[in-house]
Amino acid sequence: MADKPLYNQDNTEVLSHLQTDASKGLSSSEANKRLEQNGANQLNEAKSTNLVQKFINQFKDLMIAILLAAAIVAAFTGEVVDAIFILAIVIINAIFGVFQEAKAEDAINALKEMSTPNASVIRDGKETSIKSTELVVGDIVRLEAGDIVPADVRLIESASLQVEEASLTGESVPINKSAETLQETDLPLGDRTNLGFMNTNVTYGRGVGVVTGTGMQTEIGHIAGMLEATDETKTPLQANLAKLGQVLTYLILGIAVVTFIVGLARGKETIIDMLLTSISLAVAAIPEGLPAIVTITLALGTTRMAARHALVRKLPAVETLGSTDIIGSDKTGTLTQNKMTVEKLVVNTEISDAATTEELTGTYARLADILALNNDTKRTENGFIGDPTETALIAFNENHGRDLDKLFTEMPRVAELPFDSERKLMSTVHPAPTGYIITVKGAPDELLKRATRIEINGEIKPLSDDIRAKLLSINSELATQALRVLGFAYKTVDQIPGNLDTETVEQELVFTGFVGMIDPERPEVAQAVAEAKAAGIRPMMITGDHRDTAAAIAIRLGILDEADKETAVISGSDLDAMSEEQFAQNVDKYNVYARVAPEHKVKIVNAWQKKGKVVAMTGDGVNDAPALKTADIGIAMGITGTEVSKGASDMVLADDNFATIVHAVEEGRKVFANIQKALQYLLASNLAEVIAIFVMTLLGWNILAPIMILWINLVTDTLPAIALGIEPAEKGIMKNKPRGRGASFLSGGVGPAIIWQGILQAVIVLSVYGFALAAPVHPEVHLAHQDALTMAFMTLGLMQMFNAINVKSVYGSMIGPQAFQNKMFNWALLGSVLVMAAVVVIPGLNPLFHVSHLDGYQWAIVLVAGMSIIVIVELVKLIQRSIFKKG
């Protein structure tokens, strides 16, 4: 038995192997024994970390460790204020990280919460209701419409049973189930029609099954295991910051060591003095405000995205969206509306659009009556409940303003012949003005075999071979458009047939028409797909639906070109037939993946990631969770999405709107650009500080004290840098190609700009210091050196803030109103300038910061030097634009 799949075994084999009886079930003692051996029918709980562990984890970054070491050394050497400043910044950043992690929900716990509470089971020969967690392999369970399948089962009885498996397979239409043994091998989940899967929904009919798998041994348990085994993928932002932090750390250590050795070699400073100097360099070089600035910028981005219905669960996901190359989207409920809709009518042998058919008269009215009468949909306070196909037929009537309550009152159902998967028909009997009317619906080919007449424009005519052939051709045409086609017919009789069977009820029918239904695409998605393509992003459809259905929807949405529908669509079975190497070589050929399993989705994501692409995956079902977790950014649906998909995702769409993703991508690109601006601003400033301190050390000048550097960094790294995080997006941001995984924060000209602007600032500061020494206001050497240090300190601080205006664009000019569009930035700049100046202007603060009081002449030099950065940078940008234009 182990060599043969369950769906290839007959009932006798399955029951024999599981040592159970179809009529009596297991004995209570045997069930308890199996429960003790195999455990409860529930999913494993995932391990979680407490708040203390989360807080400790925030300090595992090497750059943070360097800052902590600097704080400790500062404290031991008496620079307590410096140590407090550093520690405060580190702790604030750690709190940010803990707060964000605490909000994340666990996907495995969400899976556990989905478990159905009760199951109808046969034990000791009697039917009873037990908790689903108490089910064991070998139990015999009964299933009826409205039930949730409590475990994986092999069906041993089936009566018109239909199960909706969209959350597991992606198939939007309920699956007809039977107890028959299947002969085909290697079938995907959606085609295993004699199996039922845990946590899927019974929409119609009834059945009996034997439990073949519980808990982690079910298909949904298999997915839970995949989630446990799947590693979280580092986002491009996290990778960039980690790499940048590593490079900066090594540079900082190298510079500090060299400075320490050079200072001692000069023989003028003590070890303590050079240790403090090295600390100053470390403080100057480390952008200690960067983690907080990035977090705040991302948080502001999440706030803006939330206003547009995109709810971010993990902060780095905001920026990751901006680098996305590929969006792999589930079809059902994401690209489509997840509800069947009548789209085409075939009446009088002509095809018409259901939406544009205004008045239902003649044969159209007859067809509409049959759609409503031959229907098991139930009306409730919250709407209609039933098979999605049948509720679509009711919705069609209501959309055309028909009074169904009156119809049901005048023509109640008095007899029926239920749907059967073998004959593929369903019939109902209703009183009519003269006698009774029998309505029949079902598969078009089966119905046309039994129809002998046709109603055309209210007249009943013989159904000739030519008309029958034309109708079959129309059926094929609609099927190629991915429409699910149902045929409808009727006949009138004087009395209710004595024998309700297909021979007496479903013969000599009058053909009325076809209805073509589809799970329609969301109206806004086609435009969103076009915008994504314009932004250089490749949208793909990954679905459990059939190949033709997936291809038709993809063509309508613009994901797939008509000319490529044979070559750019691949099924899960075809994917299985390809080796990893073959698939990796050919992955860029496919835009549509049909009939795929959860393993396939992860395989697709991995293949693109191996090509260096940043992959976003959208989805709403349980089957999507592993791929959502594996992808660089997982995007779940907020309305139709399962708790599992939300738990595994980085972002949730509150409106289930694919178009929201495009807005989020734009926001993500803006966030990255703004982080780049803040990074350029911070690193250019820090580079200037490092160069200035290093040169001052070599020249034997008084150097900027750690508290001075920390004060400059505290003032300049907060408000102006945060304000850069909410800069408006530059024009054409959605016309650029995705920067991809290989891009870094230093790309796009940012790296060179940091270097030359940092050097420029250092030269200006050193020039001011040298000028102040050469032409001192006070002749006393001590005062002259203090004045020079104070002027260098103020020039460095003010110049960094003025340079914040320059970094709003790497190459664009900031002369004009565009420099001051961001009101928060304007106030931040003004406030920072005043705070920076306060330590010199207010006499009581002078001793604390080791500065002197400057006169008007000295302030003029400081302001001119500080503002010169704007003029010089504008001239350089002008030259760069001229060169690029010529090139």
Q: How far apart (Å, rounded) are the C-alpha atoms in residues 710 and 315? A: 27
Q: Scan for tokens 């009932």, then name that residue.
A: 11
Residues with Cβ within 8 Å of residue 497, at least 6 apart in sequence: 415, 429, 504, 505
Residue the block writes with tokens 């020079």? 788
Question: What is the value of pTM for the model shown?
Answer: 0.65
| Predicted confidence band of residue 223 (pLDDT cuts 50, 70, 90) | confident
- Pairing of the two strands 201-213 and 436-442: unpaired
d(CA 67, CA 507): 86
**pLDDT, the chain, mean:** 83
Separation between Cα atoms, residue 328 and residue 86, nearest integer Å = 43
516-523 average pLDDT score = 87
Beta bridge partners of residue 196, listed in sequence order? 153
d(CA 300, CA 116): 40
Which residue type sits at 167? S
CATH architecture of 341-518: 3-Layer(aba) Sandwich (3.40)
Reference 397, options 369, 425, 416; nearest CA is 369
Q: How far apart are CA 484 and CA 482, in angstroms?
A: 7
Asked if residue 886 has pLDDT above 70, the reply is no
**Tens-digit pLDDT profile for residues 714-737:** 788 778 888 887 788 777 788 888
Q: What is the pLDDT of residue 116?
A: 43
Is the pLDDT confidence value at 887 over 90? no
Q: Which CATH architecture has domain 66-74+237-309+663-727+743-886?
A: Up-down Bundle (1.20)
- Report the percent of the chain where pLDDT is more than 70: 85
Q: Taking the chain, what is the end-to-end CA distance rounded to the nearest angstrom?
A: 72
Residue 292 has pLDDT above 70, yes or no: no
- pLDDT band with cut points at 50, 70 and 90 for residue 498: confident
Tell me which range, 157-161, 258-262, 312-316, 638-642, is most confidently predicted by mean pLDDT. Answer: 157-161
Question: Quick one: pLDDT band at residue 452, thresholds 50, 70, 90?
Answer: very high
- Read off the pLDDT band of 471 (50, 70, 90): very high
Q: Name the residue among 217, 218, 118, 211 with its Cα closest to residue 156.
A: 211
- Of the CA atoms within 13 Å of residue 578, those in its CB half-sphere come to 18
Q: Which helix (H) or strand (E) holds 155?
A: strand 152-164
Residues 753-778 pLDDT 10s: 999 999 999 999 999 999 998 888 88
- Tell me the C-alpha distance between 407 and 358, whole Å: 19
Q: Quote the CA–CA distance of 718 and 790 in Å, as a whole number.
A: 22
Tell me the mean pLDDT in the region 147-174: 81
**Structure tokens, 867:** 């503002």
The per-residue pLDDT for 20 is: 92
Amino acid 237: pLDDT: 63
Condensed to tens digits (0 to 9), the pLDDT of residues 303-354 reads 788 888 888 777 677 777 888 999 988 787 778 887 889 999 999 999 998 8
Single-letter amino acid, residue 532: A
Grade residue 186 by pLDDT with cuts at 50, 70 and 90: confident
Q: Give the separation between CA 619 and CA 661, rounded to whole angstroms.
A: 12
Q: Which of 387, 333, 306, 198 is nearest to 640 (CA)?
A: 333
Q: What's 26's DSSP letter?
A: B
Range 607-627 average pLDDT: 81
How far out from the chain centre does Cα 437 lie?
Answer: 52
Dihedral over Cα of 846, 847, 853, 854: its sign: negative
* Per-residue confidence (pLDDT) for residue 1, from 0 to 100: 45
Per the CB < 8 A criterion, the answer to whether 432 and 492 are in contact is yes
Residues paired with residue 617 on neighbouring β-strands, in sequence order? 328, 634
Q: Would you tell me the crossing angle of helices 236-266 and 271-285 to the nearest 10 degrees? A: 160
What is the C-alpha separation between 798 and 496, in angstroms, rounded? 96
HEC states along 820-881? HCCHHHHHHHHHHHHHHHHHHHCHHHHHHHCCCCCCHHHHHHHHHHHHHHHHHHHHHHHHHH
Q: Are 506 and 425 in contact (CB under 8 A)?
A: yes
**Cα within 13 Å of Cα(871), Cβ side:** 7
Using CA atoms, how far residue 489 sits from 340, 442, 447, 486, 587, in Å, is: 21, 9, 8, 10, 47
Report how far residue 630's alpha carbon sits from residue 626's, in angstroms, rounded to the nearest whole number: 6
Three-state secondary-structure class, residue 517: strand
Lowest mean pLDDT among 126-130, 313-317, 331-335, 873-877: 313-317
Q: Out of 340-344, 650-654, 837-841, pick the least confident.
A: 650-654
Can you give the pLDDT at residue 289?
A: 62
Specify the length of the chain in residues.
Answer: 887
Up-side HSE of residue 176: CA atoms within 13 Å toward CB? 11
Structure tokens at 431: 């009183």
pLDDT the model gives residue 738 = 85
Output DSSP code: residue 469.
H
Give 364's Cβ-side CA count (13 Å radius): 17
Asked whether residue 48 carries a pLDDT value surpassing 80, the answer given is no
Q: What is the DSSP string of 729-776?
A: PPTTGGGSPP--TT--TTTTTHHHHHHHHHHHHHHHHHHHHHHHHHS-
| Separation CA 614–CA 739 (nearest Å) | 9
- The Cα 619–Cα 616 span in angstroms is 10
- Given a cut of 80, whether residue 469 has pLDDT beyond it is yes
**What is the model's pLDDT at position 107?**
34
**Mean pLDDT to the nearest integer, 413-433:** 89
Residue 103 has pLDDT above 60, yes or no: no
Alpha-carbon span 373 to 388, nearest angstrom? 16
pLDDT at 63 over 60: no
How many other CB atoms are found less than 10 A from the CB of residue 810?
A: 18
pLDDT score of 434 more than 80: yes
- pLDDT-derived band of residue 211, with 50, 70 and 90 as boundaries? very high
Interval 374-388 mean pLDDT: 77
Domain ranges (residues) in the chain:
6-45+111-223, 66-74+237-309+663-727+743-886, 319-337+522-656, 341-518
**Confidence band for 454, pLDDT divided at 50, 70 and 90:** very high
pLDDT band at 105 (very low <50, low <70, confident <90, very high): very low
Coil, strand or helix: which one is 57? helix
Fill in the amino acid letter for 75: A
Any idea which of 307-321, 576-590, 661-675 has the lowest mean pLDDT?
307-321
Helix, strand, coil percentages (3-state) for the chain, rounded to 5, are 55, 15, 30
Written as six digits, the tokens of 91 are 């702790």
Active-site amino acid positions: 330
Residue among 190, 324, 319 at smallest CA distance from 605 = 324
Q: Is the pLDDT of residue 443 over 60?
A: yes
Q: 269 to each of 72, 309, 773, how far by Cα in Å? A: 21, 60, 21
> Of 96-100, 663-667, 822-826, which gets the smallest average pLDDT?
96-100
Buried b or exposed e, range 637-668, using 16+ CB within 10 angstroms: bbebbbbbbbbbbbbbbeebbbbbbbbbbbbb
Mean pLDDT confidence for 162-173:
72
User: Is the model more confident about 150 or about 242?
Assistant: 150
Topology (CATH) of 319-337+522-656: Rossmann fold (3.40.50)
Q: Per-residue pLDDT for 238 more than 70?
A: no
Fold classification of 6-45+111-223 is 2.70.150
How many other C-beta atoms are found inside a 10 Å radius of the C-beta of residue 816? 8
Averaged pLDDT for residues 140-169: 84
Work out the average pLDDT over 205-225. Answer: 85
Instruction: Kindly report, residue by residue over 244-270, the tens digit of the pLDDT.
Output: 767 777 777 787 788 788 777 776 667
Rounded CA separation 311/664 (Å) = 10
456-469 mean pLDDT: 93
**Orientation angle between helical segments 236-266 and 658-699, nearest 10 degrees:** 0
- pLDDT score, position 568: 92
DSSP 8-state code for residue 336: B
Q: How many CB atoms lie within 10 A of CB 558?
A: 16
Per-residue pLDDT at 242? 67
**In angstroms, what CA-CA distances link 3 with 6, 7, 8, 9, 548?**
10, 12, 10, 10, 33
pLDDT of 47 strictly over 50: yes
